[in-house]
Amino acid sequence: MSREISVIASGPILPGLIAEAGDGAARRFFEFFTANIRNPNTRAAYAHAVAHFLRWCEDRHFSLKSIEPIVVAAYVEQLQTTHAPPSVKQHLAAVRMLFDWLVTGQVVPVNPAASVRGPKHVVKRGKTPVLSAEDARKLLDSIDTNTLIGLRDRALIATMVYSFARISAVLGMKVEDYYQNGKRWWLRLHEKGGKFHEVPAHHNTEAYLDAYLEAAGIAGDPKGPLFRTVRGRSKTLTAKPLRRNNALDMVKRRAVAAGLPPRI
């Protein structure tokens, strides 16, 4: 059996080092990924980090209870030779959280990662380019809205631009998450940890979403995803939500077509 942790619907695959520590350790390990971490992106990232660390320890013949702070520190030191500081810090955070969970579950007596410090990493300026008002208008106006895909893409980009929302929060929206409250229309964004963030819709976002919903004919499906994939040559919408990587590719294509840098 592979010892790589693969988070799937049924849960992560148990690594050998955890299995050797007994049923209590195995049960607590599964609970860490299934009950403790609700966000699927965080779960996948932490699973990868934990798998990497446990495999490193197994290769050096450590047992779960023999892992001490010096072992974690040596791992972090070696990891810095192949990974960027933010990635190293994420790996350390995952290991620290796992051992916290094992300590509270009385699997191990202390957290060996608690006293280990990660590399310093100071971000002096954001790496994500921010669209100026002029570029945003140029991008939105460049989209051909004679097609359903064009209407969807314009509505999606406008929702992100005018609400400053994360792409995952926008793609997680249901049709009912664009709703009227009094005289205003609102957006209910699905944030991390199952939380919701409600913001008033910008008038441009409102106009673009209305045009998209009318053309798509999905207003009667309140529980369905708001932004959907398109079915092959028929160019009709499916019942599946648009995936994050597909949305990113779309924005890049639209940016290039509008004469903007693809990194946008």
Percent of the chain scored above 70 by pLDDT? 89
Closest CA to 242 of 187, 192, 172: 172
Per-residue pLDDT tens digits for 107-130: 999 999 998 988 875 545 545 556
pLDDT band at 4 (very low <50, low <70, confident <90, very high): very low
Contact yes or no for 69/112 (Cβ under 8 A): yes
Q: Does residue 2 register a pLDDT over 50?
A: no
Higher pLDDT, 247 or 183: 247
Q: Is the pLDDT of residue 236 over 90?
A: no
> What is the percentage of the chain residues whose pLDDT exceeds 90?
45
Distance in angstroms (rounded) separating the CA atoms of residues 22 and 2? 18
Cα within 13 Å of Cα(35), Cβ side: 7
Q: Is the dihedral of CA 77, 78, 81, 83 positive or negative?
A: negative
Would the pLDDT of 10 be above 60? Answer: no
Given a cut of 60, is residue 51 above it in pLDDT? Answer: yes
Residue 184 has a pLDDT of 85
pLDDT score recorded for residue 11: 46
Statement: residue 61 has pLDDT above 60: yes
What is the phi/psi pair of residue 180, to 5°? Answer: -95, 135
The lowest-confidence range among 8-17, 33-42, 93-102, 228-237 is: 8-17
* pLDDT for the residue 3: 41
Own/partner pairs, 36-42, CB within 8 angstroms, 24+ separation: 36/97, 36/101, 38/193, 38/194, 39/192, 39/193, 40/7, 41/168, 42/192
Instruction: List, for residues 211-234, the tens digit of each pLDDT value.
Output: 999 999 999 999 999 999 988 777
Q: How confident is the model at residue 262 (pLDDT cuts 50, 70, 90)?
A: low
How sure is the predictor about 1, in pLDDT bands with cuts at 50, 70 and 90? Answer: very low
Instruction: Give tens-digit pLDDT for 115-174.
Output: 898 887 554 554 555 667 788 889 999 999 999 999 999 999 999 888 888 888 899 999
Neighbours of 261 (CB within 10 A): 10
Q: Does the pLDDT value for residue 194 go beyond 90?
A: no
- Does 7 score more than 50 pLDDT? no
Both tokens of residue 252?
């890049």
